[in-house]
Chains A and B, each alone.
Chain A
Amino acid sequence: MIALRNISKKFSLHARGRSILFKGIIQAVKKKNSQKTICALDNVTIDIKKGEVVGLIGTNGSGKSTLLKIICRMYKPTTGAMQIKGDVVPIVRLGSTFIPDLSVKDNIFLYGAIVGLDRKEVRRNLKKIIDFANVGDFVNSEARTLSLGMEERLAFSVVMQTTKDILLFDEMLSAGDRSFRNKSLEIINKFRNAKKTIIISSHDMETIKLFCDRTLLLDKGHVVDFGDTDSVVEKYTKLNNNKS
């Protein structure tokens, strides 16, 4: 169960990126630019029930990733309260965490540790992970040899082994092919039957319609609508058409 109450997140504009030491010290002393902020999320209040698959849609910069990162506890909300019952898989985006110079096998162990599996568990499930992701020929090659789709498949395949209750997917299956999408659908249905809560953020409305029970539409950090997937997706399409 996830309950968010009046969650807002502001970022200080000058607090992004790296500065030169001397310049940074002067800025800190003068407190220059400290007023410039952007509001990534504004007063978001939602409840997600246990076992629900929820879609997260909106244009770029609408606050989807920020919301997932807050749920994942990577960001602290500026204001508001959050209550989460259950363990969250600490991954927001699949695949992009692989170390390119490290072998695929070593990356699986590292990724396994990140999602909360120990070496024994990863070793026990190694064949299953490799087979599901269909990367058998690459196991001892460097991860840089994997395509984007393969990386995503492999990451999903590791995440599948977790016993955690809440899963977050930012731009899920954006690079996957049709057969992998079908396999993933089966897995997500298994997760659903196991009463796991899933939040999927995507620009692909087909993915959202395929997987999600309810959908949250965000625009410039505000909640536009949260409800039945088909009607929210329709609203999003209309919103997009009006903008263009």
Chain B
Amino acid sequence: MKIDRRYVNIIREFMISGFKLRTGGAVLGFAWTLLHPLLMLLILYMLFSKRIGSGIPHYGIFLMVGIVHWNFFSRATANSLRSIITRRVMLNNVHIPITAVVAGSILEVFVSFLFELFIVGGFILFLGIGFSKAVFWLPFVIFIQLLLIAGISLVLACFNVYFKDIEYVWDVMLKIGFFVTPIFYEPSMFVSRQKLSLYLINPLTRIIMFARDILLFRRSPDPINMLCLFLSALVIFLVCYLVFKKLEGAIIERI
């Protein structure tokens, strides 16, 4: 398969420029981006460590893994949602593949996510939890999350060109998603056994649960469950991609 060099270069430059814009290209700016998840961790830990977290070992790490994966999803999709509209002047004068604009926006957040994940890894080592062989499953979990984000982001970025209020709709959905995804609780605490299969339809729930299994509980995910998760993310991606392809042709004419 021949890789289009220009396409890859554009994605990389969008990723670098987006990251620099967010951090101001300085260490202090980057530190500010880490402050948000840290504050979130602190608040959730203070609120829930006694009640919800009391039966969960290393509740701080439990929270961290949930927050880092949730933030990656919410920030990447929100960032991509605005990616076409914020570059409308550029896209009106230059032929750039829309997918490259969206991919650049996702990867820009992905870089921050990797840094945050390294910090989580540092805490895991510091607290003496350590890593098992299960950690080799983590790249697969991250890949599945990227696939899910890519599909949803393509459709959101496209819809945002058509509908000006999609940003508010997605914001509300993310707020709901924060509570229906097990970021600060174990699903078994609030979801009955009968409703668990319905609850697990949300692929992000499984992604966070698998990441915790790997990083915190040092156990490998069930390969069949992992395959199911991959297939569900793939189906979501393909459906979203088809919707995107249907709308893509008219994007430049609309912006």
Interface centre among A72, A103, A113 (most CB of B within 10 A): A113
Partner of B12, one of A24, A90, A103, A113: A113
A residues near B166, Cβ cutoff 8 Å: 21
Q: Tell me the minimal C-beta distance from A165 to chain B in angstroms.
A: 15
Instruction: Flag A159-178 by CB within 8 Å of B: 1 or 0 each.
Output: 00000000000100000000
Complex: how many Å from CA A130 to CA B156?
Answer: 38
Complex: how many Å from CA A173 to CA B92?
Answer: 19
- By size class, the interface of chain A is 35 or more
Instruction: Flag A1-15 by CB within 8 Å of B: 1 or 0 each.
Output: 000000000010001
Interface size on B, residues (CB 8 A): 32
Nearest residue in A to B159 (C-beta to C-beta)? A21
Query: Could you tell me if A18 and B93 are in contact, using CB atoms closer than 8 angstroms?
Result: no
A residues near B254, Cβ cutoff 8 Å: 15-18
Main secondary structure of the interface of B (DSSP, over half): helix
Nearest residue in B to A66 (C-beta to C-beta)? B253
Query: Could you tell me if B93 and A97 are in contact, using CB atoms closer than 8 angstroms?
Result: yes
B171 contacts partner chain A, Cβ-Cβ < 8 Å: no
A residues near B250, Cβ cutoff 8 Å: 15
Nearest residue in B to A95 (C-beta to C-beta)? B93
B136 contacts partner chain A, Cβ-Cβ < 8 Å: no
A15-B253, A96-B89 known; A24-B21 Cβ under 8 A: no
Q: Tell me the minimal C-beta distance from B216 to chain A in angstroms.
A: 39
Binding site for B on A (CB under 8 A): 11, 15-21, 24, 69, 72-76, 88, 90-93, 96-97, 99, 101-103, 106-107, 109-110, 112-114, 116-119, 170
Q: List 16 A-B contacts (CB under 8 A).
A: A18-B254, A19-B162, A21-B165, A24-B163, A69-B252, A75-B252, A92-B94, A96-B89, A97-B89, A99-B17, A102-B20, A113-B9, A113-B10, A114-B10, A116-B9, A117-B9
9 extra A-B contacts, CB within 8 A, seeds A20-B165, A24-B162: A15-B253, A74-B252, A91-B95, A97-B93, A107-B17, A109-B13, A113-B13, A114-B96, A116-B9
